[in-house]
Structure 1
């Protein structure tokens, strides 16, 4: 019997390729399925005590018995067997169901027909019934493993295929194809993806400078207004932004490991504001039917104007219970970050964050939408006591939104936005020179909008808009920044 195996699984689109191969000749497969050309289970019966039934009784039994399925197996083994042939076979087998309820070969063949015509759920049911009647039905085992794989149950499919390979009665003609299938599926448990971005943009504050051109200082109890050095005023202009990223995922039956690394650089005419940033992050994720949790660790290093600015190391975790609120699942998270400033050690600190959030997914008429609102409490504690303002307390609200546009819509791809508002307040006066040693209050808000438009299977057009405004009772910490950029991203 010929089996067509189409390797498709929506959970792993980046690694799936269509493959097609034969699992052996008809005679080999029939033997492995418990059938043969010379002898098949035809449902013949004898009367109790070994006596032959009467002619009328024999005719009645024959009419109700499951017919010999060997001809169907022979026909389906033809090299010219098509999807339409499988569909016709399914139509011929379906009326036989009441007569073949106890025949494992019937449900194995029906499941194969359903599988090869794309009827995955009925195929799973038929193949499960075949294996309930005969757990050693090799043909049903082979197709059931494939059906599990197509459903996305990768590890159950691997376990079933591994069990088939250990059978002593496995025909030699089937073994190579099954080993090839095992290797391909096993390869899906380790996935590596690289991507690169190249964007051209314009920024009205490349150097992140304060907005005011004058700063008011308190000298001997009097307010004195001084002009800010032009070097520390906002500089605007075009820039080129490049990014190279890598994602690695290793799957196991009960957990997974994720590693994300990214190198990003920005260059412009103002070389003093050129940036180079390296980020790396690891996550251990353990989902189950009751809840899911993950532990994360990461490091980030930033160079600004060719000089190391800061390095941050972070550890944290997230817990998501099983229950839902409408279409939303709540979660809690916590993180601690060590912040090291290379040229200003007085700024070194440890920042902790505790969060509550919702992960909401809903299908709408304009596409699938996802909302993730999150509220966090923040505490930033200096490692040394000589930092201006001492400890800081604050809070943060963040809302992520994503719309996956449907295939038939005028605009393809996805639209994403992020709204963030953060407030922090120092626990002591910042400086006697600013507002008579007032405690610093900072309110920072930003809006990010991104649109990705697919140009091909591996390339997308990117459009990003970013606007940030920072307000403070101290003029030195007021700033505005707006950027707009266009470019491309390519996955390889």
Structure 2
């Protein structure tokens, strides 16, 4: 994932911030970790590698001793610190990672490693690492002051969204800027119900005067198996000089299920989100209550619109296309954004046209950056899906839903700080306005509830490269037994970001 061409670093979003801050820390030792033996990890057995006179050499002569001193954390710390001063951040990250593997609990090394991560383009991991480090009670006062300054400088520059997040959210800095994020991931997983089949092994038909129970075909029963998935996602955000901003996100997904070929699928999505300049805004007049280095608190109200397209195709013959449009208002205050919208969707199931419909509803979304390393999202939605064909089983549907998502720091591997938990729960309820079928439980109207929960552990391996392990459980209940379903799955994967 790393590249040896250091000129490429000039195009990365965290490079300018890391360059300015590394120079600042070099010129102001009272605010930063002083690269002396007293502030660095404990020395290894070879005294020559951590001798003050030896460490004071110029970078080229110091790096020449790497084969001899590669197991000395003090030497590796100094070499990484020098590479940060030279803005050679990827080399700095290499040396500092080795130092953390040998002495994983050294705040000065962690600080320099965060600078190297930011300079390499992984500003998210750098901020997560700094936030976790700041919570330690044993930090010296000068180092704690440096952390506050780093976070105050970096957080407003964090414009590009996380890989699993929406392309809108709290914006700490209204100044014109843009950011682009490319993400590619590979996953390998196991699911005990690949096709989302019913829990029932038989189907009872209600005929005049009698009930007939028929066994379901083997292909209609839950099928367990391994799956592989490749994802490619690109997003771009731009903050305009007048205060408006827009974001564009495109995604491709290919999922392969060797044991059940009909569920192999391809999916494509594109979304455009545009927020107009605020029609009303207010800025806190008192600067005395603001955190030093942080911009003053702002509250604003602005119209916004979103347009999206989705296409899905499976080898089993399912072909789906969706178009959605949302119009609403955005209320932004401090580290939170509240969005209210009217939502319209065209849901076209080309493989089974009778099931197609038009959805109209309302939604409320609330996203907050609780800290530099913790954020959450809550959403509510309600609406009505109007059947395009009057003969659709169940007719029109009333639909409701809620979603919760939390990203928070997690235990990390030794020498690899910045791990995160991603927790997500989604609930939906739908109710038909007509009987589903005279053959199913005397034409009863279907009511269906679905709850899914996911937990994912994300661990940085190198700047821009993460590994993750996740699990998901889905439970669907309905008054018509044919629509009751259970599914559990586990997966692991790698994700790269540029």
Correspondence for 1:331: 339
Q: Matched residues in 2 for 1:283 and 1:358: separation?
A: 16
Task: Using the TM superposition, give the Cα deviation of residue 433 of structure 1 relative to its aligned residue in structure 2, in angstroms.
Answer: 0.5
Please identify the structure whose Cα radius of gyration is greater: 1
SS of the equivalent of 1:385 reads coil
Retained in 2: the 8 A contact 1:221–1:436? Answer: no
- TM-score, normalization: structure 2? 0.59
Correspondence for 1:394: 399
Q: Matched residues in 2 for 1:312 and 1:354: separation?
A: 17
Retained in 1: the 8 A contact 2:17–2:154? Answer: no
Q: Deviations over 1:200-230 (max 9, x none)?
A: 1001111121111111111223221111111
- TM-score, normalization: structure 1? 0.60
Task: Using the TM superposition, give the Cα deviation of residue 473 of structure 1 relative to its aligned residue in structure 2, in angstroms.
Answer: 1.1
Task: Using the TM superposition, give the Cα deviation of residue 284 of structure 1 relative to its aligned residue in structure 2, in angstroms.
Answer: 0.7
Correspondence for 1:309: 319
- Alignment counterpart, residue 441 of structure 1, candidates 433, 442, 447: 447
Q: Matched residues in 2 for 1:437 and 1:306: separation?
A: 29
In the alignment, is residue 257 of structure 1 matched against residue 249 of structure 2?
Answer: no
Mark the CA change 1:460 to 1:384 in structure 2 (over 3 Å): closer, same or farther.
Answer: same
Q: Matched residues in 2 for 1:245 and 1:329: separation?
A: 24
Q: Which has the higher contact order (CA 8 A, sep 6+)?
A: 2
Task: Using the TM superposition, give the Cα deviation of residue 268 of structure 1 relative to its aligned residue in structure 2, in angstroms.
Answer: 1.8
Q: Deviations over 1:253-292 (max 9, x none)?
A: 2122211111111112211110111111111123643224
Q: Matched residues in 1 for 2:330 and 2:436: separation?
A: 39
Q: Matched residues in 2 for 1:330 and 1:84: separation?
A: 40
Task: Using the TM superposition, give the Cα deviation of residue 248 of structure 1 relative to its aligned residue in structure 2, in angstroms.
Answer: 1.8
Q: Deviations over 1:369-398 (max 9, x none)?
A: 333232221211011211111100132121
- Alignment counterpart, residue 419 of structure 1, candidates 425, 429, 453: 425
Retained in 2: the 8 A contact 1:205–1:480? Answer: yes
Retained in 2: the 8 A contact 1:216–1:475? Answer: no
Mark the CA change 1:16 to 1:286 in structure 2 (over 3 Å): closer, same or farther.
Answer: farther
Q: Matched residues in 2 for 1:390 and 1:351: separation?
A: 13
Retained in 1: the 8 A contact 2:417–2:460? Answer: no
SS of the equivalent of 2:262 reads helix
Mark the CA change 1:196 to 1:153 in structure 2 (over 3 Å): closer, same or farther.
Answer: closer
Structure 1 residue runs without a partner (length 5+): 1-11, 21-81, 88-148, 155-187
After the TM superposition, which residues 226-237 of structure 1 pair with which residues of structure 2 at under 5 Å, given as runs? 226-237=214-225
SS of the equivalent of 1:346 reads helix
Q: Matched residues in 2 for 1:196 and 1:277: separation?
A: 15
In the alignment, is residue 273 of structure 1 matched against residue 263 of structure 2?
Answer: yes
Mark the CA change 1:292 to 1:456 in structure 2 (over 3 Å): closer, same or farther.
Answer: farther
Q: Deviations over 1:183-204 (max 9, x none)?
A: xxxxx94433321100110011
Q: Matched residues in 2 for 1:380 and 1:228: separation?
A: 29
Deviates more, 1:304-313 or 1:273-282: 304-313
Retained in 1: the 8 A contact 2:235–2:248? Answer: yes
Correspondence for 1:352: 360
Mark the CA change 1:15 to 1:217 in structure 2 (over 3 Å): closer, same or farther.
Answer: farther
Retained in 1: the 8 A contact 2:451–2:476? Answer: yes
Aligned CA RMSD, in angstroms, stands at: 3.1
Mark the CA change 1:454 to 1:437 in structure 2 (over 3 Å): closer, same or farther.
Answer: same
Correspondence for 2:107: none
Structure 2 residue runs without a partner (length 5+): 1-11, 21-25, 32-151, 158-175, 282-299
SS of the equivalent of 1:390 reads coil
Q: Matched residues in 2 for 1:333 and 1:470: separation?
A: 27
After the TM superposition, which residues 5-16 of structure 1 pair with which residues of structure 2 at under 5 Å, given as runs? 13-14=13-14, 16=16
Correspondence for 2:471: 465
- Alignment counterpart, residue 295 of structure 1, candidates 274, 297, 305: 305
Mark the CA change 1:320 to 1:404 in structure 2 (over 3 Å): closer, same or farther.
Answer: farther
In the alignment, is residue 83 of structure 1 matched against residue 27 of structure 2?
Answer: yes
Correspondence for 1:34: none
SS of the equivalent of 1:235 reads coil
Q: Deviations over 1:387-432 (max 9, x none)?
A: 1111001321211222145999996322111111111110011100
Q: Matched residues in 1 for 2:429 and 2:496: separation?
A: 37
SS of the equivalent of 1:455 reads strand
SS of the equivalent of 2:441 reads coil
Task: Using the TM superposition, give the Cα deviation of residue 368 of structure 1 relative to its aligned residue in structure 2, in angstroms.
Answer: 4.2
